[in-house]
Structure 1
């Protein structure tokens, strides 16, 4: 592509780019370079459940709905939809859209993927059931999981009445249903392609197929993934940047250096770097929807003790952690449902209405700990604190908590360092932990996106907390048609949970990032997939 006539111009541009690098600008308007400290775990939307994988999958695939540049829900593969008078049947009318290999996107592609996530017993399969979209018959099929037959799967409340029409039947009215359809676990998959790839599906770019703004062209796990514009995308005119490069598992310090040197256009950084960049026009403190919290394992005698859990909660100075340690826009958590997630039928924020359930009080913390020691028959309690070293700032987060807990007399903390994948899929999933540092992002704008995590039937309830009153309240809310009664049931459910403190909320997280001045249109969601790259421009 480079001709001899343009060599001098290119050299001049290269020199200019190097001069501008420290200012967070560049002259290449074809490639957006994104650095993050986490990895793409997988590219199969019926299996994965981590944010970075969702970022990548959303870059290459659209669902029935999608989001605009402001993060609002808009038509995606479905150009329009009708809703029955009772709100239980949605009929989606598909536009003329293509997969990146030229195949038509059909209604059956959605049926196939929804069946497949149940058959795979994917971690997000529950989102089809009563804890998510409430698809007809989903709960019973999810219970069958990998044993579900094709005949049984055909009873799921989704049908392709023709190539361009998807009909979805619900068990109950779900006010946020249309927004849910932009979440990756509801994305379509091309059955012919998936079955041809077999076990290789979604493992390498040649075994990955999307219908969205970009195509994945290279993928080195733990290092880098590259994407190029999909010319078969139905909305290709809205995609202004030709390429995306994702630098994966990049240490924040390295990412910041690469940003300063003009090698990346966007980099997430940690608290140790905030003071260096705060005040510059390339620094961004972004409010996230994540809640960072501690999971307590109820299969372990120590963390099954209620007094110990309350002692741990009172020992945490959340304001100090946010203001002086994290410094990335994080805010102290006051309950398990974050602020600014959703509002009541009368327009009041859930967090404001529910109130404050946690506080910092060392004296109370010691009193609760002393009560726990007496109940457990010991002078010293030792707990293991599990955290991922590749989940910045969770390492800083864990170290702060260790310091807070060990200030209490008679409490010792063993730090158990691992990586995110091992933390979640090995240790937490098998119950091999006492206390785990983790975080949860909202999949939709409703209190249940957090409250459902602690339902006894939820696969993400790694601490195995069970409370009959809590489960009953959630069940009532799932079936409640009166919106005011439903809201009050959810308020009561959080109260029941926070009284027992099975999970200890710590902070509503923020992200500190560096963004080049010429980057526009990067969508950062507080709900659903964190980043949307479709609208990025480099001016």
Structure 2
């Protein structure tokens, strides 16, 4: 998740899902996760009121770390809570609840973590190893219905897959509390990036007594949330605004300089810009028509990131009934019929770049130190001639000259422009195709995506950890984030090999991933669109907001307000 992950006032996420990651998320033009961030180290110092006022593109669906699956939830759960490790300015895991580095067995399968003695919950209770055991078991418990628990822990933490499928008891999960401050984790196989995974929300601890007292309200109101991270949520005016304040019980509270983070839901770019211009917001995401207007502004910023967007082409609506996308030639036609260059230059106009594969550029490199995207090159580009040839074959195979599909999208203003552009391109370039646009609030789109109740949708993914697997394992058969009934035995075998027999062979593992991406594009399982950048106006007072390469889009722990800079 990331969401994808990373989310907010730029077209980009307003349309997509992100499911986490990735981090997939819900944003539109500015900060990911519903906020802001420059990612640059500060050159000034903290002075004046330590308050940021930021836009967020939509309601946060939930603050339950076991259940968050979108960029908004992942962003803000990661500010009120903390796992064993936290990402620093360089995107490297640094100790959070963990007291230093883990002890790792010689075979790489057992990790022993010590929990800080001064780690506390916001109610004053200590954070213990048992809090991690409970949280991780809850994440894979079928009764929790977590999307990310089985996805992140399956095949990684011992017995997670069997437990999430109901074949084993929770107590058999490979995580146990040796004592109050000693956590022992057993893995299914050697996972070189496991420590990085523990920075992700799914792996955060939970106070069992508190969670069970809240019942089904846990994570849905400020009073139903317990913090162990840099901030606490104190106000939640649903669909309108949220407030986060410094958590004074946080183990590293003296490092946290921000006193307040105020979020305002802003779905319309012009509204966000007006609020920025009047000083009510410290950031405003910019859609294409505003970029040209503000590109020479001293406070104009552009942020490239390893988040990709694509069209998900659902082969079975509701997971049962075939859609037109069950036909490979329909998928190939749609995937090649949209002029992506015009889309990123005119509709987005925010620095985003066309992508013709799944893996983003400048994210991971192979044993030869060559970038993944550079190595695999362009795999599924805009090609009108090929699109129309595939379309004619598809109509012949389906025995019809008229095909209607529904395209699902978010309800922000740039999302509407995107949906209109794609509809125009597809209907103009593929004779006989009718596209019916359906735009809904972000939370509803996530629900429809999870239910596979759609034909076509713009979706996005931001990395959950720094490894090619965070993108490539999305599309395994029945994968938790597949959500479109794509299935390929050959693809599954390549991903299984990369994470199994080739896990300790960097070159063979790399080649597995390269071949898997080629196969994914040959099948036109998805239609790659662009790699995101965001354009925004941001007050110079916003300092030391780090841009993460995985997980939550931004990190506010080390941020501060330089009000003197804003007055210059």
Distance, in Å, in 1 between the alignment partners of 2:359 and 2:328 is 20
Q: 2:532 aligns with which of 494, 509, 513?
A: 509
Where 1:78 maps in the other structure, the secondary structure is coil
1:70-469 equivalences in 2 (<5 Å)? 70-80=90-100, 81-96=102-117, 97-119=119-141, 120-130=144-154, 134-144=156-166, 152-299=169-316, 300-390=322-412, 393-408=414-429, 409-425=431-447, 427-469=448-490
Where 2:213 maps in the other structure, the secondary structure is helix
Q: 2:517 aligns with which of 488, 494, 500?
A: 494
Where 2:366 maps in the other structure, the secondary structure is coil
Where 1:49 maps in the other structure, the secondary structure is coil
Structure 1 position 258, deviation (Å): 0.6
Structure 1 position 111, deviation (Å): 0.5
Distance, in Å, in 2 between the alignment partners of 1:250 and 1:534 is 26
Where 1:285 maps in the other structure, the secondary structure is strand
Gaps in structure 1 of 5+ consecutive residues? 1-25
TM-score by length of structure 2 reads 0.86
Q: 2:70 aligns with which of 50, 75, 83?
A: 50
Which contiguous aligned blocks of 4+ residues in structure 1 show a shift greater than 6 angstroms?
Answer: none
TM-score by length of structure 1 reads 0.90
| Contact in 1 for aligned 2:87/2:548 (Cα 8 Å) | no
Distance, in Å, in 2 between the alignment partners of 1:417 and 1:301 is 19
| Contact in 2 for aligned 1:287/1:526 (Cα 8 Å) | no
The answer for the alignment partner of 1:15 in structure 2 is none
Of structures 1 and 2, the one scoring higher in RCO (CA 8 A, sep 6+) is: 2
| Contact in 2 for aligned 1:222/1:249 (Cα 8 Å) | no
Structure 1 position 43, deviation (Å): 0.6
Structure 1 position 358, deviation (Å): 1.6
Distance, in Å, in 2 between the alignment partners of 1:116 and 1:345 is 37
After superposition, the C-alpha distances for 1:367-420 in whole angstroms (9 at most, x for unaligned) are: 111111111111222222111114x64333222211211122222211122222
Distance, in Å, in 1 between the alignment partners of 2:550 and 2:148 is 15
Distance, in Å, in 2 between the alignment partners of 1:521 and 1:503 is 36
Distance, in Å, in 2 between the alignment partners of 1:416 and 1:229 is 40
After superposition, the C-alpha distances for 1:443-484 in whole angstroms (9 at most, x for unaligned) are: 111222112111113122111111111111111111122121
Q: How many residues align?
A: 505
Distance, in Å, in 2 between the alignment partners of 1:163 and 1:267 is 45
Structure 1 position 99, deviation (Å): 0.7
Structure 1 position 521, deviation (Å): 0.7
Greater mean deviation of Cα atoms: 180-189 or 65-74? 65-74
Structure 1 position 301, deviation (Å): 3.9
Structure 1 position 308, deviation (Å): 1.4
Q: Which has the larger radius of gyration?
A: 1
After superposition, the C-alpha distances for 1:284-324 in whole angstroms (9 at most, x for unaligned) are: 11112221111111123411111111111211221221122
Where 2:262 maps in the other structure, the secondary structure is strand
Structure 1 position 493, deviation (Å): 1.1
Structure 1 position 212, deviation (Å): 0.9
The answer for the alignment partner of 2:13 in structure 1 is none
The answer for the alignment partner of 2:508 in structure 1 is 485
After superposition, the C-alpha distances for 1:221-260 in whole angstroms (9 at most, x for unaligned) are: 2111101111111111211111111112442221111111
Gaps in structure 2 of 5+ consecutive residues? 1-45, 317-321, 563-568
Where 1:79 maps in the other structure, the secondary structure is coil
Structure 1 position 31, deviation (Å): 1.1
Instruction: Report the CA distance shift for 1:249/1:262 in structure 2 as closer, same or farther (over 3 A).
Output: closer
Distance, in Å, in 2 between the alignment partners of 1:143 and 1:267 is 44
Greater mean deviation of Cα atoms: 164-173 or 404-413? 404-413
The answer for the alignment partner of 2:34 in structure 1 is none
| Contact in 1 for aligned 2:323/2:455 (Cα 8 Å) | no
Structure 1 position 517, deviation (Å): 0.9
Instruction: Report the CA distance shift for 1:377/1:250 in structure 2 as closer, same or farther (over 3 A).
Output: closer
Distance, in Å, in 2 between the alignment partners of 1:287 and 1:239 is 26
Where 2:508 maps in the other structure, the secondary structure is helix
Structure 1 position 28, deviation (Å): 5.1
After superposition, the C-alpha distances for 1:181-233 in whole angstroms (9 at most, x for unaligned) are: 11101001111111222222212111110111111111112111101111111
| Contact in 2 for aligned 1:129/1:142 (Cα 8 Å) | no
